[in-house]
Amino acid sequence: MKRRIFLLNITTAISGLAVTKAFAKMDHSSMSDTMCAINSDECQKEDSMHHEHMNMNMNMNMSNNKTPQKLLATSALPQGQDLPELVRLKNTSDKQGTFEANLEAKPVKIKLTPELTTEFWAYNGNIPGPAIEAFEGDKVKITVKNSIPQATTVHWHGLLIPSNQDGNPQDEIPAGSSRTYEFTIPEGNAGTYWYHPHGHETVAEQVARGLAGIFIVRSKKDPLASLPEQNWFFSDLKLTDKGEIADNSMVDWMNGREGQFVLINGAYRPKITVKSATRVRIWNACSGRYLNLSIPNCDVYLVGTDGGLMPKPIQLNSPLLLSPAERAELVIVPKQSGTVYLQSIGYDRGKMGNVPPEQDIILGELVLTESSSIALPSTLRELPKLGHATAHKTLEYTEVMDMKEPRGGMLFLINGKRHDMQRIDLESNIHEVEEWTIFNNSHMDHNFHIHGAQFTTVSHEVDGKKNPPKYEALKDTINLRPYEKITIKIQQNMPGLRMYHCHIIEHETLGMMGQLMVK
């Protein structure tokens, strides 16, 4: 492997520091196209960076940090249990077309082994939170009681609902209080969503402690309704050797937290049985971990993304990359019986600091009982056609060092700014079709998420080479490789304040977020 070194000067206006960063850029000509993102059309083979330059800075920061916590050995947690079904949130209304329920965010003690008790924060005491299932057109009324010792909100990630019901950081529920969220799910919004806290600078901690759950919206005209379904909700758990939820380290703040345990539906390395062609909904609800899923001995079809079904199924022949908060719907068709590993294939996202190289990790065991086949419909859905864009916005992601930032010494910025709840960064006219170009002007992957709308991708651009997306799909979260530029087409159809941010939750919490006012 050849190495090239180049220098980049970054002057940080924020801290008044002038820092010179030396990046070691590595050639990855041997890298296979397993690196391709499901939504990244250009498979970049040369964009992987290492960050030796950060180590010096890191060590300086580490010296004023308390001693690192000892982590629990991965062998300590039981594995191999059958994939748990998610607990359903009970609909307390018997009226047609109405979903009413109660959620309580509260501390709960769970015994993970006979010796270890962990205090989580969980919705209704469940890890993950109870599953919500509703139909397009349903009136939803959910009362949330906040029994954790901090203010919180509940954000309904991906749903097309009014901004004042969407759990913005400005609308916190103080500790000990309740509020009711009320909205109607619009037609055309069927898909695979989730809910999680979105308070001011508290999201990283609250998600790390266990607050998140799924929200499925069904359509009455679903072309795949006859298939059996499974839900795979991936989350990430970092435990100390005492079984406590570990604090974020400097490295977690910089790169996004990754625990030593990846859970599916709350279970560590479960056994998942697939008997025949099955529709699988997948959530990457990890704070910072990228999943690059490999599903052996099966035909795998991508049929849906963040915003529901795609126009037509796409057969996948490389791993499925999901950055934090992305979802996918797959149809998995076993080709031969037997037991195989479900794995996440090592994906280099350009982490900073002294971190080990990415490795393949085992997520669970897949038991395929027999070979099967299926004829999928050739068209699944027609996407809403957005007209010509009449407005254009540009965003730029940057990273700068700041010795005064105690959480990792880095600032993550959008258009040179940190999130400010009082500042409106951008304005849009309601119903106007816009193109947004997001430029990841940094050496690590970040993703882009926006509230209130599902967008389509117009182009991906790296090194001046522009490519159309590989397929049409509705997204609310999209990954950007280092120095990649993505153009999306978007329309906001409700007035009010909307957030957009990187969904590596530590970056969002550190301020890599902006505010859009729709008028």
Q: Is 325 in the site for ligand C2O (CB under 6 A)?
A: yes
Residues in contact with Cu ion, counted by CB under 5 A, come to a total of 6
Query: What type of residue sits at position 362?
Result: I
Closest separation in Å from C-beta 501 to ligand C2O: 6
Provide φ and ψ at 205, rounded to 5°: -65, -45
Cα gap 130→132, rounded to integer Å: 6
Q: Is 446 in the site for Cu ion (CB under 5 A)?
A: yes
Q: Is 157 in the site for Cu ion (CB under 5 A)?
A: yes
Q: Is 501 in the site for ligand C2O (CB under 6 A)?
A: yes
Stretch that binds ligand C2O, among 75-83, 226-234, 461-469, 497-505 (CB under 6 A): 497-505
Q: What 3-state DSSP class applies to 62?
A: helix
Please choose, from the candidates 93, 97, 301, the residue with its C-alpha nearest in 3D space to the C-alpha of residue 218: 97
Provide φ and ψ at 450, rounded to 5°: -130, 145
Q: Is 507 in the site for ligand C2O (CB under 6 A)?
A: no
- Binders of ligand C2O among residues 22 to 51 (CB under 6 A) are none
Cα gap 210→126, rounded to integer Å: 9
Q: Which residue, 53 or 157, is less far from Cu ion as judged by CB? A: 157
Tokens of 303: 């049929």
Residue 351 touches which of Cu ion, ligand C2O, none (Cβ within 5-8 Å per kind): none
Q: Which of 50, 51, 53, 157 lies at the binding interface for ligand C2O (CB under 6 A)?
A: 157
Please choose, from the candidates 315, 272, 448, the residue with its C-alpha nearest in 3D space to the C-alpha of residue 38: 315
- Binders of ligand C2O among residues 62 to 121 (CB under 6 A) are none
Q: Is 327 in the site for ligand C2O (CB under 6 A)?
A: no
Q: Is 507 in the site for Cu ion (CB under 5 A)?
A: yes
Q: What 3-state DSSP class applies to 472?
A: coil
Residue 320: CB atoms within 10 Å: 22
- β-bridge mates for residue 332, sequence order: 278, 300
Site string for ligand C2O, 173-212 (x = CB under 6 A): -----------------------x-x--------------
Residues in contact with ligand C2O, counted by CB under 6 A, come to a total of 10
Helix locations, 101-229, DSSP H:
203-208
Q: Is 155 in the site for ligand C2O (CB under 6 A)?
A: yes
Cα gap 275→337, rounded to integer Å: 9
Q: Is 395 in the site for ligand C2O (CB under 6 A)?
A: no
Please choose, from the candidates 224, 475, 222, 471, the residue with its C-alpha nearest in 3D space to the C-alpha of residue 328: 475
Residues at the contact surface with ligand C2O, assessed by CB under 6 A? 155, 157, 196, 198, 325, 449, 451, 499, 501, 503
Residues at the contact surface with Cu ion, assessed by CB under 5 A? 157, 446, 451, 502, 504, 507
